[in-house]
């Protein structure tokens, strides 16, 4: 950090771009500023976890002065696009909102949830926000019109209908209980319903509800009443059409967290995007610039529910980059105001929602909200084939490419094994924001002892199976069921356990495999290595022909090997 402080004081008081780099000279954060030195100084006083984490990984700092702030904006976006630094805004889909697909091109169309409108011959409706609307409507269409939801092949081989028919969710075209003509008529009615023409359906449901009520079949009457309410809710959902192409967006940030909601409208066409993430300096203009680099279909107008700093630079960026000059403006009229306000509220809800890591920090009184969490576990069989696992989570998401296995000493001592694993890991790698150990107070103490031996301090907790008791250095407690922090700890602990047990099984199988091969006369080290290279399991060797085995170890050894495997098989049978 001393070197960075000194370097920051050398920075100019001029507009430009600054780049923090790690020990391998890879950019980890790129920012822009009107006065570079002043902006860099602000990082030194920040207490935000992500900023502190970035500074702990930064080893070098460089900058590039630009003639104007506008040029700095252009250069920043180009460098972010090129290098994708880990601490900058990355527009990765938080979710893709679903469509309803009716496979109109088939003889017996079905209704399905699709993530993209891409199949020729199908009809698409949506996307639906929230996604639960798609699932509700799919079920409603099946109940109201008997449209199938299965992927059954309509080849006449089925002898009786499935459960959907008996619970009133399918007309069973697969067994001929409805003709092709009548079934397609049902699907046609479903299409009209999804297009918003609900009058006929509503009248039919109302008639059925009152008939059931007159017959004093109140359960059936309630069923039709609920369907009627759902149809009314669907018919009230706004379905706006706009002249020309318009992009609406909402953006919100809290601390380093940000959320972006975008709706692209072009006449009746609609696309929705939702992004969430963390950035050291969340900014709507930067987020939109990144969005249009990923989705370069520039609209005639960009509509927001608020004004934001940097919109002029965004417009200049789009003009120079894409030769497009969209108007960036506030909503016109009630419909546009409704949509822009809705997107803004959705973005704000995304950043206000307490994350599991925040709930965990609050429940356990941690010094800071953990962003990177690592979990460790030990697996062995009575002190043999002892292995350790380490799993990594960042922002609540598993980073499987960073998982690691450890082969440990042969001993039936969980505490010593934990100490060895922790010493080996953190003598070479930086500490996470939180370390989770599978076990109780003994395992926690072993991990803390190992860290003290390395001269390190870290936030460490242990989670015991069964009672799900959490142990911290100064207390232990049971978090309530449904607590998001507890769910995150359990997920990390269970993932470390799964990874350890899977590796342990592979080690045991390999050892047993090797032991049996070593007992075969005529198989020495060279032939053993040749077999291990070619075959992964004993079953693979058993399935091999005598000629194939002879080509690897010779005829006599192949014959002895086959005899040994036959003996092993008879003993286990």
Using pLDDT thresholds of 50, 70 and 90, give the confidence band for residue 572. Answer: very low
User: What pLDDT is stored for residue 509 in this prediction?
Assistant: 62
Of 116 and 147, the structure prediction assigns the larger pLDDT to 147
My answer on whether 255 and 185 are in the same domain is no
Instruction: Tell me the C-alpha distance between 82 and 428, whole Å.
Output: 30
CB 257 within 8 A of CB 7: no
pLDDT of 375 above 70: yes
Determine if the peptide bond prior to 130 is cis (ω within 30°).
Answer: yes
User: What pLDDT is stored for residue 440 in this prediction?
Assistant: 92
State mean pLDDT over 503-515. 64
User: What pLDDT is stored for residue 508 in this prediction?
Assistant: 64
Q: Is residue 171 part of a domain?
A: yes
User: What pLDDT is stored for residue 386 in this prediction?
Assistant: 83
CATH of the domain at 271: 3.30.420.10
My answer on whether 496 and 557 are in the same domain is no
My answer on whether 394 and 503 are in the same domain is yes
Of 319, 352, 385, at which residue does a domain stop?
352
Q: Is residue 81 part of a domain?
A: yes
CB 127 within 8 A of CB 69: no
My answer on whether 388 and 417 are in the same domain is yes
Nearest to 426 by CA among 464, 398, 388: 388
Of 61, 88, 115, at which residue does a domain stop?
88
Range of the domain at 73: 2-88
CATH of the domain at 11: 3.40.1440.10
Partnered with residue 248 across adjacent β-strands are 263, 303
CB 335 within 8 A of CB 246: no
Q: What is the DSSP string of 364-428?
A: HT-SS--SEEEEEEEEEETTEEEEEEEEEEETTEE-GGG-EEEE--S-S-HHHHHHHHHHHHHTT
- Overall pTM > 0.75: no
Instruction: Tell me the C-alpha distance between 440 and 432, whole Å.
Output: 20
Using pLDDT thresholds of 50, 70 and 90, give the confidence band for residue 254. Answer: confident
My answer on whether 187 and 104 are in the same domain is yes
My answer on whether 177 and 284 are in the same domain is no
pLDDT of 58 above 80: yes
State mean pLDDT over 152-161. 82
CATH of the domain at 559: 1.10.150
**How far does CA 413 lie from the centroid of its chain?**
36
Of 352, 384, 401, at which residue does a domain stop?
352
Q: Is residue 229 part of a domain?
A: no
Q: Is residue 27 part of a domain?
A: yes
Instruction: Tell me the C-alpha distance between 74 and 78, whole Å.
Output: 6
Using pLDDT thresholds of 50, 70 and 90, give the confidence band for residue 573. Answer: very low
Burial of 480 (0-12, 13-18, 19+ CB in 10 A): exposed
My answer on whether 374 and 329 are in the same domain is no
pLDDT of 531 above 50: yes
Collapse the DSSP code of 156 into the 3-class scheme (helix H, G, I; strand E, B; otherwise coil) and give the result: coil
User: What pLDDT is stored for residue 423 in this prediction?
Assistant: 95
pLDDT of 285 above 70: yes
pLDDT 10s digits, 161-177: 888 888 888 988 998 89
Nearest to 295 by CA among 88, 30, 91, 89: 91
User: What pLDDT is stored for residue 391 in this prediction?
Assistant: 95
My answer on whether 391 and 496 are in the same domain is yes
User: What pLDDT is stored for residue 266 in this prediction?
Assistant: 77
My answer on whether 494 and 390 are in the same domain is yes
My answer on whether 322 and 411 are in the same domain is no
CATH of the domain at 420: 3.30.420.340
Number of independent structural domains in the chain: 5
Using pLDDT thresholds of 50, 70 and 90, give the confidence band for residue 126. Answer: low
State mean pLDDT over 444-472. 92
Q: What separation in angstroms does the CA of 26 have from each of 29, 347, 375? A: 9, 31, 27
State mean pLDDT over 527-544. 71
Across the chain, mean pLDDT equals 83
User: What pLDDT is stored for residue 504 in this prediction?
Assistant: 66
Q: Is residue 386 part of a domain?
A: yes
pLDDT 10s digits, 195-226: 767 777 788 888 888 888 888 888 878 877 87
User: What pLDDT is stored for residue 60 in this prediction?
Assistant: 92
A 10 A CB-CB count for 458 gives: 16
pLDDT of 240 above 60: no
pLDDT of 279 above 80: no
160 contact partners, CB below 8 Å, separation of at least 6: 175
State mean pLDDT over 492-518. 74
């Amino acid at each position: 950090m001393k070197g960075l402080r000194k370097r920051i004081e050398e920075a100019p008081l001029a507009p430009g771009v600054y780049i923090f780099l790690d020990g391998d000279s890879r950019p980890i954060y790129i920012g822009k500023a009107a006065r570079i030195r002043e902006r860099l100084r602000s990082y030194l006083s920040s207490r935000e976890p992500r900023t502190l984490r970035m500074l702990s990984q930064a080893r070098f700092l460089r900058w590039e002065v630009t003639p104007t702030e506008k040029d700095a904006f252009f250069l920043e976006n180009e460098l972010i696009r090129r290098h994708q630094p880990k601490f900058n805004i990355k527009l990765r889909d938080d979710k893709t909102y679903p469509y309803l697909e009716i496979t109109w091109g088939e003889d017996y169309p079905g209704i399905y949830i699709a993530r993209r409108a891409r199949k020729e011959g199908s009809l698409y409706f949506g996307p639906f926000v929230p996604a639960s609307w798609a699932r509700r409507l799919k079920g409603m269409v099946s109940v109201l019109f008997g449209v199938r939801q299965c992927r059954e092949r309509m080849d006449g081989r089925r002898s009786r209908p499935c459960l959907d028919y008996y619970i009133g969710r399918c007309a069973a075209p697969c067994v001929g209980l409805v003709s092709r003509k009548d079934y397609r008529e049902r699907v046609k009615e479903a299409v009209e319903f999804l297009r918003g023409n609900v009058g006929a359906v509503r009248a039919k449901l109302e008639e059925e509800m009152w008939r059931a009520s007159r017959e004093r079949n109140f359960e059936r009457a309630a069923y039709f009443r609920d369907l009627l309410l759902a149809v009314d809710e669907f018919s009230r959902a706004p379905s706006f059409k706009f002249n020309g192409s318009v992009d609406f967006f909402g953006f919100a940030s809290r601390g380093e967290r940000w959320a972006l909601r975008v709706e692209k409208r072009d006449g009746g066409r609609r696309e929705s995007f939702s992004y969430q993430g963390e950035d050291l300096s969340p900014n709507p203009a930067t987020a939109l610039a990144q969005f249009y680099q990923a989705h370069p279909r520039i609209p005639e107008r960009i509509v927001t529910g608020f004004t934001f700093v940097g919109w002029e630079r965004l417009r200049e960026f789009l003009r120079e980059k894409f030769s497009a000059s969209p108007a960036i403006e506030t909503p016109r009229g009630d419909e546009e105001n409704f949509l822009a306000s809705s997107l803004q509220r959705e973005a704000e809800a995304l950043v206000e929602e307490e994350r599991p890591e925040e709930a965990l920090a609050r429940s356990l009184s941690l010094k800071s909200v953990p962003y990177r969490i690592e979990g460790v576990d030990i697996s062995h069989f009575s002190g043999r084939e002892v292995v350790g696992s380490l799993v990594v989570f960042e922002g609540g998401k598993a980073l499987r490419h960073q998982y690691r296995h450890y082969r440990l000493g042969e001993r039936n001592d969980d505490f010593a094994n934990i100490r060895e694993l922790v010493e080996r890991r953190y003598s070479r790698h930086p500490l996470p924001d939180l370390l989770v150990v599978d076990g109780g107070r003994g395992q926690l103490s072993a991990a803390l002892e190992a860290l003290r031996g390395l001269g390190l301090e870290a936030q460490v907790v242990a989670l015991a199976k069964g009672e799900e008791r959490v142990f911290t250095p100064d207390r232990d407690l049971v978090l309530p069921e449904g607590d998001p922090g507890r769910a995150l700890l359990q997920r990390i602990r269970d993932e470390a356990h799964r990874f350890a047990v899977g590796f342990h099984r592979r080690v045991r199988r390999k050892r047993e495999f090797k032991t049996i091969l070593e007992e075969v006369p005529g198989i020495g080290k060279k032939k053993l290595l040749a077999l291990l290279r070619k075959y992964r399991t004993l079953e693979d060797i058993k399935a091999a022909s005598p000629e194939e085995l002879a080509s690897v170890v010779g005829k006599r050894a192949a014959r002895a090997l086959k005899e040994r495997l036959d003996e092993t098989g008879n003993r286990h049978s």
